[in-house]
């Protein structure tokens, strides 16, 4: 038996523990961070909320309502995109949006073949009709807290990031329904500024 085969499992265990410890430290640093007050300039930035829909999902109506119930101090719009013009989820989104006339809302259908991945197809379709440069992408199976948009935009600008991503937290439903998001991951990129999941 070679020396490597004896120490390999031990070395791999140490490396794994190192990654685990780094994750714990990053998580603790995030939750210990002082919450800065929202900058009024940043909170006035217009945002397009791109929402990708595919069929009827558990809790869809409440999830859609959470998009329109955002306590955001600036202008925002909701853009729904599906791959199917007759998608029952889009039909429900139209009914829900009628209850929130104060929030501009657009519906679009993704162009077939725009990408190899249907989710990317929908994202391309939604971006094509978005009014604002700053975008937040979410799926229809995500239920947002009322302050999510305000907090995400504030975090995006206070960290001087070009991309902001959030971790989705799921609850025990019949199907996987993420609820509000917690924790942000930031990165800097020369590309278009996006707030996303």
pLDDT digits (tens, 9 = 90+) for 33-84: 655 544 445 558 999 999 999 999 888 999 999 999 999 989 999 999 999 9
Same domain, 58 and 21: no
- Per the DSSP assignment, residues forming a β-bridge with 51 are 80, 138
Alpha helical stretches, state H, 106-177: 118-129, 148-158
Name the residue range of residue 1's domain: 1-33
Same domain, 7 and 94: no
How many other CB atoms are found less than 10 A from the CB of residue 151? 20
- Give residue 184's pLDDT: 43
Same domain, 74 and 15: no
Same domain, 182 and 157: yes
- Give residue 163's pLDDT: 80
Quote the pTM value: 0.68
| Lowest mean pLDDT, pick from 10-24, 105-119, 144-158, 172-186 | 172-186
Q: Judge contact between 89 and 57, C-beta under 8 A.
A: yes
- Give residue 13's pLDDT: 78
The Cα–Cα gap between 144 and 148 comes to: 6
Tell me, what CATH number does 104's domain have? 3.90.550.10
Domain count, the chain: 2
């Amino acid at each position: 038996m070679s020396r490597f085969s004896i120490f390999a499992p031990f070395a791999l265990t140490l490396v794994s523990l190192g990654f685990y410890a780094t994750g714990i430290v990053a998580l603790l640093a995030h939750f210990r961070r002082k919450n800065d007050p929202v900058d009024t300039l940043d909170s006035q930035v217009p945002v397009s909320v791109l929402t990708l829909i595919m069929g009827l999902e558990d809790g869809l109506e409440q999830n859609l309502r959470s998009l329109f119930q955002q306590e955001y101090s600036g202008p925002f719009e909701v853009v729904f995109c599906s791959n199917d013009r007759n998608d029952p989820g889009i039909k429900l989104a139209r009914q829900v949006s009628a209850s929130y006339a104060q929030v501009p809302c657009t519906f679009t259908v993704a162009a077939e073949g725009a990408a190899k991945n249907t989710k990317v197809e929908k994202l391309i379709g939604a971006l094509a009709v978005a009014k604002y440069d700053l975008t937040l992408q979410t799926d229809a199976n995500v239920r947002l807290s009322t302050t999510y948009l305000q907090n995400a935009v504030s975090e995006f600008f206070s960290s001087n990031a070009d991309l902001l991503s959030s971790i989705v937290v799921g609850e025990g439903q019949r199907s996987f329904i993420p609820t509000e998001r917690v924790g942000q991951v930031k990165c800097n990129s020369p590309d278009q500024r996006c707030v996303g999941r």
